[in-house]
Amino acid sequence: MTRIRHGPSLPLLSLALLLLVVLSSSCARQGAQGPQEERAGDQGRGQSAPAQTTRGEESAAPAGTTVAPGADREGREEASSRPSPNPPRAGESGFTAAPEASGGEEGAARAIAEVRFGRHEGYERVVIEFDSPRVPRWALSSPAGEGYARIYLPGVENVRETGGGFGGEIMDGYYVVRDPRGGFFVDVFATGPFRYRVLELESPGRLALDYAPAGGSLARPLPVRGERNVVMEPRPGQAVAGTLTVSGYSRNFEALTTVLLRGPDGSVLARESVTASDWSEAWGYFEATLEVPPFAGQATLAVGAESPRDGTFRGVEVPVVYGG
C-alpha cells in the first residue's frame, strides 16, 4: 500500500508565520533602542557640564549685555555666578556700600591669569580670573566716600596682568600692586560714587566685582594717577603740616620713587626717595615721610623719578596747601 505524506496543515503554517513576524519586530525594536539610549547618555553627560562653567559656555554674553571690545569672554560669568561666602547684601540686587567684604579659600590659587571688563544693563563688571578652578582667599575694602575699592589677595604669588583702563561709565580702570606684606592687591577705580557687588565663580576660579552708579558726589577727590605713578595720599587741595606721609604705587625704573615738596616759588621744601615694593612684574607700593615747613599759598607735591637719560624729573603733581 502506498502511503501519502501530508504537508503541514494550514493552521500550523499560519502560526509559524505569525511567530516569525513577532520575532522580527522584536529584534528591530531592540536594534533601534540601542542607539537611542547611547544618545541619551551622551546628552546627559553634556548637560552636566554647565554646573562647572566651561569656557565654551561662557563665550556668549547674556541677554541685555554689551561686552566691551577686547573683553569678548566677559559676559560668560552670568550663568554660573554665585555670591561670595560672606556676601554684602543691600536689597534684592545685592549691591552695597559696605566698607568690607571677604571670601575665597586659603591656597586655592597662586596666580592672576587674566582681568576682563564688560558693560551690563545698570552696572559694569571686572572679572579677575585665577589659575585654578577655585577662588583664593580675598578681602575687599571700600572706604566710605572714596572712588575705588581694593581687593587684597594675600595668597597670590604671580600675576599676568598689571593694570589698564576700562573707559566705562562707572568703572574707570585698575592696578595690580605687590603688597609689601605679601601677595598682591587690586585697586578698581570708579568715575564717581558707586555701590558694589562681589560674586565668586568656578572652573576656572574667578572673582567678579560689579559697580553700579550711586548718584551724588564723592566725599574726597580721586587720587592723582599718571603713567608710572599713582598718589593715594594726600589728595589734591589737602592741607598739610608737620609730618606728612605720602603713599601710593609706582613703576619707576628700578623701583626708585622720589617725593618732592615744592613751595609756591618752586623751591624744594622737602625731599625723600624710597624704594617701591616692585616695578617690573607689577606696580610697587611706596610710602615716604616728609617734614613740612611752614609756607604761604599753594605748594606742589611731585612724585616720580629722574630720567636716566637726561636727568629730568618725570611724575605726577598734587597741589596742597599749608594747614599749620
What does the pLDDT look like over 200-228, one tens digit per residue?
999 999 999 999 999 999 999 999 999 99
Mean pLDDT in the chain? 81
Tell me if domain 61-213 and domain 224-322 are identical in fold.
Answer: yes
- Phi/psi of residue 289, nearest 5 degrees: -120, 130
Asked if residue 128 has pLDDT above 50, the reply is yes
Q: What is the pLDDT of residue 319?
A: 98
Average pLDDT, integer, range 64-86: 44
Mean pLDDT of 125-138: 99
Architecture of domain 224-322: Sandwich (2.60)
pLDDT score, position 12: 41
Cis-peptide, bond into residue 204, ω within 30° of zero: yes
Residues 304 and 294 sit within 8 Å (Cβ to Cβ): no
- b/e map 2-35, b = 16+ CB within 10 Å: eeeeeeeeeeeeeeeeeeeeeeeeeeeeeeeeee
Alpha helical stretches, state H, 193-304? none
Q: How many CA atoms lie within 13 A of 94 on its CB side?
A: 15
CATH pick for 61-213 out of 1.20.1630.10, 2.60.40.3500, 3.40.50.300, 2.60.40.10: 2.60.40.3500
The candidate with the shortest Cα–Cα distance to 245, out of 283, 289, 202, 211, is: 289
112 pLDDT more than 50: yes
Domain boundaries, the chain: 61-213, 224-322
| pLDDT for the residue numbered 83 | 52
SS3 10: helix
Q: Which residue has the higher pLDDT, 3 or 248?
A: 248
**pLDDT grade for 138, boundaries at 50, 70 and 90:** very high
- Residue 53 has φ and ψ, to the nearest 5°, of 55, 75
